[in-house]
Amino acid sequence: MKLTEPVSGGPCWVELSTPDIPAAKTFYAALFGWRSETDPREEAGGYTMAHVGDARVAALSPVYQPGQHPAWTVSFATEDADAAVEKVTAAGGSQLVGPMDVFDAGRFAVVADPSGAVFSLWQGRAFAGTDLLNEPGSLGWVELVAREADPALAFYPAVFGWTVTASKTYPQWGVDGADFGGLLASDEMLPPEAPPNWLPYFAVADADATAATAQSAGGEMIMPPTTLPGGRQIAVVRDPQGAVFGIYRAGEEG
């Protein structure tokens, strides 16, 4: 990711829905050194902010529906959440939640692309989004895992105006040419019952050491640390509650 701060159209926040926030706090503290603080207001519903030092980098929240699977959700910044929802539906996506205000922090909506991949829209006010990008313990890359490339390549530029770095095997998403994510189109990565999804990758100083920590803390390796062509090292992890995310060695994004 070449972005260093949230910008309109780019990833600006990532949030974990989990049935066990205390367990998630413990796991991600061991993994990334996160310090997590739960909003004490009753109306906040247990929303918990994770920090690297004093920087806000992610959130943990309870699951809101019975049977909801633990999962990470990526949010993309927009200057107008209502207008962005209209673009989503006009391009063939669906509106799932909102738009609605979150105190004075901003306005959000949850939507899905035409294939069913869920993501959020965030119109920041008092809170623009993450305070860190690409630093160890913070969001560094986002990847759409889908069965087909062409529908996504039509949908997302129509909604966000993203630039696309042409590649037959791994197109990359960007804002004005600053790449922040990619598109992995592969049936092999998605079981028949699994919908397409956005996978967040967190930057780490050492992918091998972080993967070992994840396993010792109760996580499961879906993809062990792997060195890709060009030298980038990544891994994909399932946390103890079942949410999936990636890690990559910081400094190798883009």
Task: Look up tokens 């519903």; give the residue.
Answer: 45
d(CA 213, CA 144) in angstroms, rounded, equals: 26
* Paired tokens of 106: 């901003």
pLDDT of amino acid 150:
93
Residue 130 in domain: no
Same-domain check for residues 15 and 120: yes
Same domain, 90 and 143: no
* Final residue before a domain boundary, out of 124, 155, 173: 124
Q: Would you state the pLDDT for residue 230?
A: 74
Here the CATH number for the domain that contains residue 166 is 3.10.180.10
Residue 92 lies in a domain: yes
pLDDT of residue 232: 82
Q: Containing domain of residue 113, as a range?
A: 11-124
Residuewise pLDDT in 10s, the chain (254 residues) = 478 889 999 999 999 999 999 999 999 999 999 999 988 777 767 789 999 999 999 999 998 777 789 999 999 999 999 999 999 999 999 999 989 999 999 999 999 999 999 999 999 999 999 999 999 999 999 999 999 999 999 999 999 999 999 777 899 999 998 999 999 998 776 777 788 999 999 999 999 999 999 999 999 999 999 988 777 899 999 999 999 999 998 865 54
The pLDDT assigned to 252 comes to: 58
Taken in order 169, 167, 142, 106, is the CA torsion positive or negative? negative
pLDDT of residue 68: 82
| Other CB atoms within 10 Å distance of the CB of residue 108 | 21
Check: CB of residue 120 under 8 Å from CB of residue 75. Answer: yes
As a whole number of angstroms, the distance between CA 48 and CA 228 comes to: 34
Distance CA(117)–CA(7), nearest Å, equals 22
Whole-angstrom distance, CA of residue 209 vs CA of residue 43: 39
Is residue 175 in some structural domain? yes
Number of domains in the chain: 2
- 119 and 165 together in one domain: no
Cα dist from 51 to 30, 75, 137, 148, 250, whole Å: 13, 17, 9, 36, 18
| 158 and 109 part of one domain | no
Choose the final residue of a domain: 124, 159, 187.
124
Question: 195 with 113: CB under 8 angstroms?
Answer: no
